[in-house]
Amino acid sequence: MHIMRIGPYRIDPDDPRAPSQEVWERLTPEERARIVEGLPSEFPVSEAAPPEGDPHFVAKVETRQVLGDFFTRAGRKVYLACELPVYYPGERMFAPDVIAVLGVESHERMRWVVSAEGKGLDFALEIHVAGDRRKDLERNVKRFARLGIREYFLFDRGRLRLNGWRLEEGRRGYDAILPQQGFFASEVLGLELRVDGERLRFHHDRVPLPAADEMIAMLERRARESEVQLARESQVRAELEHRLAEEARLRAEEARRREESDHRLAEALAELARLRGDPG
């Protein structure tokens, strides 16, 4: 692969980086757009991580789905992505398992270029399943704090452990987030995180947010309950209609008997008057 030249800037495919902020400000809008489009949206060989199997894939996709559903229902503008290449000015590209950026539109993106977006990441989550933990547990802690990412969480899926760090105002390094009764508070998301069995679970006011399979199961249960309720209501209506029909039949029968009785009485009175010789 060859180096791409755009105006005064070069993109090395083996080490793709966005321009420094100083260089970015000297570029024309057209050059900026071409650079953003030219930055790779896939991992260079030097950055490619070995696959970690279903546990890793399921955990990151489930996290994005759960958070996306929650923020959509809450009406909050939060951009979420999984393993999206992120380009800070002059920095090596990286791609956390899950990212969140507050207050931006959630349209589809191929990459996050901080200079173009005008905003860095607010939240990053890494999910570790196997291999060397030092990148997630040591190097990322230093790098993400230096870049100003406010919160960073690490879910160790292999050991079923959770760590969290927050960048407090005026600090250059992260402070560890201490759990409260097993819950790690995320000020960025407004949620709590905890390990629940083999899952990373998000909570709102200590109420767990349902995952997709749980939401489907809940909707199916509600559908079954609705079917049972509809069947019961249908049975009640049928029984009521039967009672009303029976009552109507009895009333009609009573009216017929009264009519026949009145008719027989009239005939008897007429016969009695005839026998008495009353003028008819």
In a domain, 145, yes or no: yes
Instruction: Specify which residues 165 forms β-bridges with.
Output: 152, 176
The pLDDT assigned to 257 comes to: 86
The pLDDT assigned to 246 comes to: 86
In a domain, 190, yes or no: yes
- Residue 66, domain CATH: 3.90.1570.10
Per-residue tokens: 7: 């105006």
In a domain, 83, yes or no: yes
Residue in 127, 180, 174 with CA at minimum distance from that of residue 155? 127
Label each residue of the chain as H, E or C: CCCEEECCEEECCCCCEECCHHHHHHCCHHHHHHHHHHCCCCCCCCCCCCCCHHHHHHHHHHHHHHHHHHHHHHCCCEEEECCCCEECECCECECCCEEEEECCCCCCCCCEEHHHHCCCCCEEEEEECCCCCHHHHHHHHHHHHHHCCCEEEEEECCCCEEEEEECCCCCCCCEECCCECCEEEECCCCEEEEEECCEEEEEECCEECCCHHHHHHHHHHHHHHHHHHHHHHHHHHHHHHHHHHHHHHHHHHHHHHHHHHHHHHHHHHHHHHHHHCCCC
In a domain, 138, yes or no: yes
119 is in which domain, residue-wise? 40-209
In a domain, 59, yes or no: yes
In a domain, 278, yes or no: no
**How many alpha carbons fall within 13 Å on the CB side of residue 146?**
9
In a domain, 58, yes or no: yes
pTM (2 d.p.)? 0.76
The pLDDT assigned to 223 comes to: 60
Overall number of domains in the chain = 1
* Whether the Cβ atoms of residue 64 and residue 72 lie closer than 8 Å to each other: no
Q: How confident is the prediction along the chain (280 residues), in pLDDT tens digits per residue? A: 578 888 788 899 889 999 999 999 999 999 999 999 999 988 765 555 666 788 899 999 999 999 999 999 999 999 999 999 999 999 999 999 999 999 999 899 999 999 999 999 999 999 999 888 888 999 999 999 999 999 999 999 999 999 999 999 888 899 999 999 999 999 999 999 999 999 999 999 999 999 866 665 565 566 666 677 877 888 888 788 888 888 888 888 888 888 888 888 888 888 778 888 766 5
In a domain, 133, yes or no: yes
The pLDDT assigned to 6 comes to: 83
